[in-house]
């Protein structure tokens, strides 16, 4: 990890929980080639802007020489097939999917001819999207963010940060196709650390509230919020609940720590979305998905909110501090 420290002066804007579409994309000139964009949950500009920037770096500008058409499932994964159908009616040059395996799988089930470029957190080979990472085969390629594979590492970091904790909670969205595997991985990692896991499911706001009530009843001492596209849209809520309950928690993305979460460990999402834009541009310009390797991140960021640590009465262990890429003061 590359070490950087600075004072965060401002957080990212809140992620929209309803449909968001870039202003220029709302009034597109007729006749432009269409890039179809499908997400499992609604995404705000901080999630889509790096993608648009990646396209622009390759010479593709939304509203000038291509038209990006967005569709969001709003965490209702049963809507994905219909949304893919809508996008295919636009005769797109290709389909982009973000937010997990489900959108990519829905697109794959709908077409074997339109190129598909995905962003996923779980292994796309094991999930059946592609035949291999180096040579995907078929009409799909994309970016594998390795987010699910990092849950055990997050638990290890949380244990180092809160060594007194023996009971921890894990928040998992049961609608996530990797939910069962996440439970298995965390249970195994907890056993290796001598920790007792209390796994609770939540897939909407009411269930998140109920989950934190359960964590309070069970007197958990630390929390891991597993990777999930829906949880990413509930950053403010999740951080507010951990703050209310004085609960040390580790999250996937830096933005959680910026908002007041104790710590995060994961890939640089903006960088990955920019990579996704570049990959889409290659396919648009003629590269065959079957021959275009699935990209993987090489940098992972550990971010610690020192102010939150002080509030919780937690000294930052030197071994953690020296490994942190950012310490938010």
Phi, psi of 200, deg, nearest 5: -130, 140
Q: What gap in Å lies between CA 168 and CA 153, rounded to an integer?
A: 14
User: Mind listing the pLDDT tens digit for each residue in 190-240?
Assistant: 999 999 999 999 999 999 999 999 999 999 999 999 988 889 889 999 999
Residue 302: beta bridge partners? 265
Which CATH class for the 23-146+269-298 domain? Answer: alpha beta
Q: What gap in Å lies between CA 148 and CA 172, rounded to an integer?
A: 11
User: Mind listing the pLDDT tens digit for each residue in 64-94?
Assistant: 999 999 999 988 899 999 999 999 999 999 9
Please state the domain extents for the chain: 23-146+269-298, 148-267+301-328
Question: Does residue 149 have a pLDDT over 90?
Answer: no
CATH of 148-267+301-328, one of 3.50.50.60, 3.40.50.2300, 3.40.140.10, 3.40.50.720: 3.40.50.2300
CA 214 to chain centroid: 25
Choose between 163 and 28: higher pLDDT.
163
Exposed, middle or buried by CB within 10 Å (0-12, 13-18, 19+), for 112? Answer: exposed
The DSSP-derived string for 80-106 is: HHHHHHHHHTT--SEEEEESSHHHHHH
Q: Do domains 23-146+269-298 and 148-267+301-328 have the same CATH topology?
A: yes
CB 208 within 8 A of CB 202: yes
């Amino acid at each position: 990890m590359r070490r950087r420290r600075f004072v965060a002066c401002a957080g990212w804007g809140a992620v929209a929980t309803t449909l968001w579409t870039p202003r220029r994309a709302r009034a597109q000139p007729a006749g432009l080639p269409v890039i179809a964009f499908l997400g499992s949950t609604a995404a705000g500009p901080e999630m889509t802007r790096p993608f648009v920037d990646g396209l622009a770096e390759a010479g593709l500008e939304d509203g000038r020489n291509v038209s990006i058409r967005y569709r969001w499932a709003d965490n209702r994964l049963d809507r994905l097939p219909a949304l893919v159908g809508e996008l295919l009616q636009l005769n797109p040059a290709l389909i982009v999917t973000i937010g997990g395996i489900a959108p990519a799988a829905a697109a794959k089930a709908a077409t074997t001819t339109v190129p598909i470029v995905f962003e996923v957190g779980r292994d796309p080979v094991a999930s059946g999207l592609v035949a291999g990472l180096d040579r995907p085969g078929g009409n799909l390629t994309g970016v594998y963010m390795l987010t699910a594979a990092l849950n055990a590492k997050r638990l290890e970091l949380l244990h180092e940060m809160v060594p007194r904790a023996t009971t921890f909670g894990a928040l998992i969205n049961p609608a996530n196709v990797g939910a069962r595997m996440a439970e298995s991985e965390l249970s195994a990692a907890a056993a290796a650390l001598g920790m007792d896991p209390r796994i609770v499911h939540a897939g909407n706001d009411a269930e998140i509230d109920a989950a934190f009530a359960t964590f309070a009843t069970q007197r958990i001492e630390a929390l891991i919020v597993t990777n999930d596209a829906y949880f990413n849209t509930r950053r403010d809520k999740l951080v507010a609940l951990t703050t209310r309950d004085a609960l040390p928690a580790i999250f996937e993305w830096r933005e959680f720590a910026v908002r007041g979460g104790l710590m995060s460990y994961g890939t640089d999402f903006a960088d990955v979305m920019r990579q996704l834009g570049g990959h889409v541009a290659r396919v648009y310009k003629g590269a065959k998905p079957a021959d275009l390797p699935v990209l993987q991140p090489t940098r992972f960021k550990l971010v610690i909110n020192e102010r939150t640590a002080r509030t919780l009465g937690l000294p930052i262990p030197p071994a953690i501090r020296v490994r942190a890429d950012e310490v938010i003061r």
